[in-house]
Amino acid sequence: MSLWSGRFSGKLDPQAWLLNASLPFDQRMAEQDVRGSMAWAKAIEAAGVLTAAESAELCAGLEKVLAEFQQGAFVFQEEDEDIHTAVERRLKELVGAVGGKLHTGRSRNDQVATDFRLWMLDHLPVLKSALRDLQSALVERAEADFGLLMPGYTHLQRAQPILLSHWWLSHFWALQRDVERLADLSKRVAVLPLGCGALAGTPFNIDRDKLAAALGFLSPSPNSLDAVSDRDFAAEFLFVTAMSGTHLSRFSENMVLFTTAEFGFFELSDAYSTGSSLMPQKKNPDMFELGRGKAGTLLGLLTGLMATLKGLPSTYDKDLQEDKPAVFAAFDTLTVLLPVLANAIRTLKVNPQRMRAGLDPAMLATDLADYLVEKNVPFREAHSAAGKAVAAAAELGTSIEALSLETYQSLHPGFGSDVYSVFDAEKSVSRRKSFGGTAPEAVKVQIEKAKKVIRE
Ligand code: ARG
């Protein structure tokens, strides 16, 4: 029998039942539902609805229900429409008629919003530690690969030499923003809807501040109408996961490129690459292709929930039930993906020669212009002279470091015989030592900063 059957004489159509039921996905909130109910029992006891004995009976029953969930012994019944119904049904089986008093002054509308927020508060740390683990893997690589040079790209064209460690850490900071967004989001998750009833509030004398504190919330929601329909926290969560997915996707796209024969910067370990059923020579970067592909799925989950929310009249509408599959899917996607990416980069082999080979001397054209700047030539003029050197080298089929001094001097009188000292990638890198730059000394500072962030 469903919780609401009193007014009905007919039964719900079986297919309508399937559409309506949320148990297949909301049973993930079983523990939270029980915890919420225990706190509610105490709150209505304090309000004089239950005697101390009744409240103790309910709590003991709820403890048993919780134990059944934890032991995997809880048996769902066909008539369990959602997790709230299932818990209440089982409670009544265990404690008898007094079980029927638990839902006094409460609605599934404030209950589900509470359970969902509790679930999120419980699981934000899980996601955070998965992000932290990938961040740690990036720092480990930055330390292990310290000193190795690689080509840095803009427009996927060779741009300037950089440290590989600097590149690894660039992804660390993107993930750091995701971690910070999760922490910021948790403040808005920790607002308690319980005690708002179906929409208008509860007529019983509930101390909602106390209830909020008992459940680990920062405060009770200030408006009952808003509280039962506010799913901003779910949408925000999906934004954070979509944003993080986008970071992982961009990182993964680089990994796919850098493991090709054409780049050859990295070789993946067998544990994190796959073969082809047809082509025996293939070693495919599937994990990173999935790292790229999952971003699309995560973005879709965000877009889907936003579209669901946008036309809803106040207050609770059943459409809101769509919030949970989206959030759970995003959570599962990242918690499966993140450790794989972390360990894939921990176990890959770097090929310093291939990265070196990518350092074309033309990538030092900016340094060539800076050389003239140091001789007091205005940057625009220096830029043009360096550009002419690149064009002259291309025309002669040689590189800018092979151009004669006469050629250089014909391009600009500021060029002297010391111009050749510019063509040193190591030197180019170590000049960029201001905060956030790619010089080894700046990257060392950055590594320390990253390690500190992880420790905190
Ligand atoms: N399964 C529902 C949900 O996830 C629970 C709330 C049901 N409320 C109601 N008035 N039917 O939103």
Owner of token pair 């929930």: 305
- Overall average pLDDT of the 178-188 stretch: 98
Q: All domains of the chain, ordered by start, with CATH?
A: 5-104 (1.10.275.10), 109-357 (1.20.200.10), 362-455 (1.10.40.30)
Contacts of 420 (CB under 8 A, 6+ apart): 401
Strand-pair partners of 158: 153
What is the per-residue pLDDT for 275?
A: 81
Report whether residue 88 contacts ligand 1, using a CB cutoff of 6 Å: no
Q: Quick one: average pLDDT of 382-411?
A: 95
Q: Is the pLDDT of residue 278 over 90?
A: no
User: What is the C-alpha separation between 49 and 206, in angstroms, rounded?
Assistant: 10
Of 316, 318, 319, the one to substitute when testing ligand 1's pocket (max ligand atoms within 8 A of C-beta) is 318
Question: Which of 254, 241, 454 has its CA nearest to residue 335?
Answer: 241
Residues 198, 367: Cα–Cα separation, whole Å: 68
Q: Give pLDDT tens digits for 199-245.
A: 999 999 999 999 999 999 999 999 999 999 999 999 999 999 999 99
Tokens of 354: 């291939």
The position carrying tokens 């309506």 is 20
* Region of 21 on the Ramachandran plot (φ > 0 left; ψ -120 to 50 alpha; else beta): beta
pLDDT of residue 216: 98
Closest ligand 1 atom to residue 116 Cα is 4
Segment among 4-18, 116-130, 328-342, 381-395 with least mean pLDDT:
4-18
pLDDT of res. 276: 78
Once rounded to an integer, what is the mean pLDDT over residues 81-94? Answer: 98
Alpha helices in 152-231 (DSSP H): 164-189, 208-214, 224-229
Q: Is 320 in the pocket of ligand 1 (CB under 6 A)?
A: yes
**Would you call 186 a catalytic residue per the annotation?**
no
CB atoms within 10 A of CB 413: 12
Burial category of 53 from C-beta neighbours within 10 Å (exposed 0-12, middle 13-18, buried 19 and up)? exposed
Residue 77 pLDDT: 97
Q: For residue 433, which phi and psi values (nearest 5 degrees)?
A: -100, 5
pLDDT in tens, 136-170: 999 999 999 999 999 999 999 999 999 999 999 99
How many angstroms separate the alpha carbon of residue 208 from the centre of ligand 1? Answer: 22
Predicted confidence at residue 1, as pLDDT, reads: 61
Lowest mean pLDDT among 124-133, 139-148, 266-275, 319-328: 266-275
* Average pLDDT value for residue range 398-418: 96
Confirm if 236 and 185 have CB atoms less than 8 A apart.
Answer: yes
Q: Which of 219, 269, 276, 314 is catalytic?
A: 276
d(CA 65, CA 114): 19
Global confidence as pTM = 0.95
Check if the beta carbon of residue 438 is closer than 8 Å to that of residue 142. no
Q: CA angle 396-400-406, nearest 5°?
A: 75
**Percent of residues, the chain, with pLDDT higher than 90:** 95
Residue found by looking up tokens 């900063």 in the block: 449
Q: Calculate the average pLDDT of the chain.
A: 96
Of 332 and 277, which is predicted with more confidence?
Answer: 332
Q: What ligand 1 atom has the least distance to the C-alpha of 81?
A: 1
Q: Answer yes or no: 276 catalytic.
A: yes
Which residues have a Cβ under 8 Å from the Cβ of 137 and sit 6 or more positions away? 341, 342, 343, 345, 346
Q: What digits encode the pLDDT tens for the residues 62-73?
A: 999 999 999 999
Q: Does 115 have pLDDT greater than 70?
A: yes
